[in-house]
Chain A
Amino acid sequence: MILLAHILLPFTYILLALLIKKASIKSRLAVLFATFNLLWALALLPIVQIKDIIVVQVGGWAAPYGISLVADRFSVFMLIMTAIIFFLVTIYATQSVDKARRKSGHFFFTFGILMGVNGSFIAGDVFNLYVWYEVMLMSSFILMSLGGERAQMEGSIKYLILNLISALFFVSGVGLLYGNLGTLNMADLSAIISEKSDMLTHLNPALILMVVSFAIKGALVPFFFWLPASYHTPPPAVSALLAGLLTKVGIYSLIRFYTLFLYHDAPFWNQLILWMGVLSMVIGVFAASSQFDFRKILSFHIISQVGYVVIGLGFYTVSGIAAAMFFLAHNMLSKTNAFLVAGWVKRQKGTLNLKTLGEVYKESPIWGVLFFISAFSLAGLPPLSGFIGKYLIIKAGIEANYIVVALIALFVGLFTLFSMVKIWLEVFWKDVPKDRVVKIPQKKRKSQYMLTSSLIMAILIVVMGLWAQPIVTYCEQAAVDLLNPELYIDKVLNFSR
């Protein structure tokens, strides 16, 4: 039950949203349920510290046959980060999203996304993971096209088609895997694979299909096209949520698969994953520096940042995976907050084209500071969380003797700084260009909830940078668990209530 609540809470909200008509009650209930979800995720933390791995066998059917929900330290960490992001974005959305969208089910579908994301973090079964991916894909697609603006439609069609291809790859991989081994429970699969190590090349087609699908989901090079083509089209609160949660699920699954199955064939997979990460890092950052749309720059940076996480996985040491986890969490916070600031700028100015914007800092210093914190955290400047994240990744790389990769990561950081400074200068600092003044009615619109949520997120970024030690310790424990899959297999298969 403890884990099932992460699925049942969003489910309950969804059915209440169907039964209730008034938009204002729906928004309030959304905030309430997001709070419950956050509290529940935090409550898992002490439990997982005692039990190491929380296992729930749904319906009382034992592991390889029934549906297992499994949460180790890594899953709980991701559940908490998801809950924080979701809570803050929900508060933001109560004000930022227009009433028509809220009435036609904005929160309904955001809770669909929450259900999918939570579900894939605790799925102990490959097919269940696929089902949660579908839940996530369908609700995010509807959320992206909700409102039906022209640009939105264009973006969401690209999003839908490429993600359906990814789902197709995933489910064919699942089919091949089941045909070969006759089970889909992750712990059982891992146990069987470690017994029959000669079967590995036999399984590669299935695993490659699945890894490609994770790479599409996680927007890794060379499968990243859909992300920058679609993330700048929906309302800002939606793109903040998608940027904060969706790609991370792909990366989470990649880490889970790597530490359970792929590491058996390390000579093949390790280099592949590592260089996929390096290429994502480099290509993402270069593509970002040529863009002139606020949210497009940030979207390309998602690709680059995801690359950091993947190289952390590619090092395959305790410090590498711990760094990857820390970086994932840092990136969820900073990236979402950058999108939240972009949403405010869009609300005030009606555009996000860097060439027509300017002097926003003069208008509202506090939003300027909020952007400064999140952007320079992304770039990795000292007291912020990004500095610790990058430092850990590069340190892990040097320790694992991947000096070249570590140097590339350092070099990419410089270009990240360049794009962030570019946004800062163009949007917040420079004078409004004389020849291209866009006339927008200067209505005073309230934005206190938007400000609150963005402020809390910025404080969390600073706190994560200043008091990183407990988080890093936790991540290291989680990485030790991930590197010993025997524990996971044992807890899931020899489960007794």
Chain B
Amino acid sequence: MRNLILEKIAVLYLRAILIVSVWLLLRGHNEPGGGFIAGIIASTGFILYAIVYGSTAVEKLLRYNTRNWIGSGLLIILIAVVLPIIWGKPAMSSIWMTLPDSISAYVHIGTPLLFDIGVYVSVIGIILSIIITIMDVLKWNS
């Protein structure tokens, strides 16, 4: 049975929660937040979407396979780890871009942020791959 209100709420919730998660991701380095939390919060939106529309719909929404999401998240992490070597620093050191004050008051851009983005992407991939597998096993495709 379709439930129009629930479907609309799921879409709106997904949009809102994605914005919140990106905000959490960006404030993560100095304040509460970060890639892991943001990834979990973003995946709640996708989970609600999957419950309402079924797991095939959420796979379509994600564009790429969840395995690829995990893999590309790990790839971003690897780049963030190896990147400082180009500047002649030990691996995993943090390198920050110098930005005009008007931007850096809000966002710092550097390898820790890149690392967090990698965590964010792979956490979304891992949680959704778990949920989609469970939904497929339970044949939960509304």
Contacts and interface: CB of A to CB of B under 8 A. Distances in A.
A96 B81 CA distance: 35
Contacts of B68: 18-19
Contacts of A11: 74, 78
A15 B74 contact: yes
B90 A19 contact: no
A18 B70 contact: yes
Contact of A19 (B71, B82, B89, B93): B71
A60 B81 CA distance: 12
Contacts of A18: 67-68, 70-71, 74
B75 interface: yes
25 contacts: A1-B85, A1-B90, A4-B92, A8-B81, A11-B78, A12-B78, A14-B74, A15-B71, A15-B75, A15-B78, A16-B71, A17-B71, A18-B68, A18-B70, A18-B71, A18-B74, A19-B71, A19-B72, A19-B75, A57-B90, A58-B90, A58-B92, A59-B91, A60-B93, A497-B90
Contact of B91 (A1, A12, A19): A1
Interface residues of B, number: 17
A240 interface: no
A56 interface: yes
Contacts of B67: 18-19
The prevalent SS among residues of B at the interface is helix
B64 to A, nearest CB: 10
B56 interface: no
Interface residues of A, number: 17
Given A8-B81, A18-B67, A59 B93 contact: yes
Interface in A29-88: 56-60
A11 B82 CA distance: 12
A15 B69 CA distance: 10
A59 B74 contact: no
B94 interface: yes
A60 B90 contact: yes
A123 to B, nearest CB: 15
Contact of A59 (B70, B78, B82, B90): B90
Given A18-B74, A59-B93, 17 more contacts: A1-B85, A1-B91, A4-B81, A8-B81, A11-B74, A11-B78, A14-B74, A15-B71, A15-B75, A18-B70, A19-B68, A19-B72, A59-B91, A59-B92, A59-B94, A60-B90, A497-B90
Contacts of B81: 4, 8
Interface string B29-70: 000000000000000000000000000000000000001101
A102 B93 CA distance: 36
Nearest to B125: A18
